[in-house]
Amino acid sequence: MKKLIEGLHRFQTNYFDTHKDLFEELSHGQQPRVLFITCSDSRIDPNLITQANIGELFVIRNAGNIIPPFGATNGGEGASIEYAITALDIEQIIVCGHSHCGAMKGLLKMSKLADKMPLVYEWLKQAEATRRLIIENYSHVPEEDLLNITIAENVLTQLENLNTYPIIRSRLHQGRLSLHGWIYSIESGEILTYDPVVHDFVDVESRKNDPEYLYNLHPSCSVTKSIGCKIYPMVKDETPSELTTENINIHLPKSNRLSKEQAERIYRGSSS
Ligand SMILES: [Zn+2]
Whether 140 maps to a domain, the answer reads yes
Q: What is the pLDDT of residue 231?
A: 45
Cα 224 to middle of ligand 1, angstroms: 18
DSSP state of 69: P
User: Three-state DSSP class for 254?
Assistant: helix
Cα(193)–Cα(210) distance, rounded to whole angstroms?
Answer: 11
Residue 158 lies in a domain: yes
Query: How remote is the CA of residue 72 from the centroid of ligand 1, in Å?
Result: 21
Contacts of 128-133 with CB under 8 Å at 24 or more apart are 129/157, 129/160, 129/161, 130/104, 130/154, 130/157, 131/107, 133/157, 133/218
CA of 100 to the centre of ligand 1 (A): 7
Q: Please state the φ and ψ torsions of residue 98, each to the nearest 5 degrees.
A: -150, 160
Centre of ligand 1 to C-alpha 168, Å, is: 24
CATH, residue 163: 3.40.1050.10
Query: Which residues are within 5 Å of ligand 1 (an ion), measured at CB?
Result: 39, 41, 101, 103
Q: How far apart are the CA of 84 and the centre of ligand 1, in A?
A: 22
Q: Give domain status of residue 245, yes or no.
A: no
pTM exceeds 0.95 for this model: no
Please tell me the distance between residue 42's alpha carbon and the centre of ligand 1 in angstroms: 9
**How remote is the CA of residue 237 from the centroid of ligand 1, in Å?**
31
Distance 97 CA to ligand 1 centre (A): 7
In a domain, 1, yes or no: no
Between the CA of 189 and the centroid of ligand 1 the distance, in Å, is 15
Give the span between the Cα atoms of 212 and 167, in whole angstroms: 14
Does residue 15 sit within a domain? no
Q: How far is the CA of 104 from the centre of ligand 1 (A)?
A: 7
Please say whether the beta carbons of 154 and 134 come within 8 A. no
Beta strands 178-184; 92-98: pairing state: parallel
Does 54 fall in a domain? Answer: yes
Quote the ligand 1 centre to 61 CA distance (angstroms): 10
- What is the domain extent for residue 81? 31-213
* Residue 228 included in any domain: no
Cα(114) to centroid of ligand 1, in Å?
A: 19
- The domain total for the chain is 1
State the maximum Cα–Cα separation within the chain, in Å, rounded to a whole number: 63
Residue 197 belongs to a domain: yes
Ligand 1 centre distance from Cα of residue 69 (Å)? 19
Q: What is the pLDDT tens value at each position of the chain, 272 positions in all?
A: 999 999 999 999 999 999 999 999 999 999 999 999 999 999 999 999 999 999 999 999 999 999 999 999 888 999 999 999 999 999 999 999 999 999 999 999 999 999 999 999 999 999 999 999 999 999 899 888 999 999 999 999 999 999 999 999 999 988 899 999 999 999 999 999 998 888 889 988 876 555 544 434 443 344 554 555 444 444 433 333 343 333 333 333 333 334 444 444 434 443 33
Whole-number Å distance, alpha carbon 98 to ligand 1 midpoint, is: 6
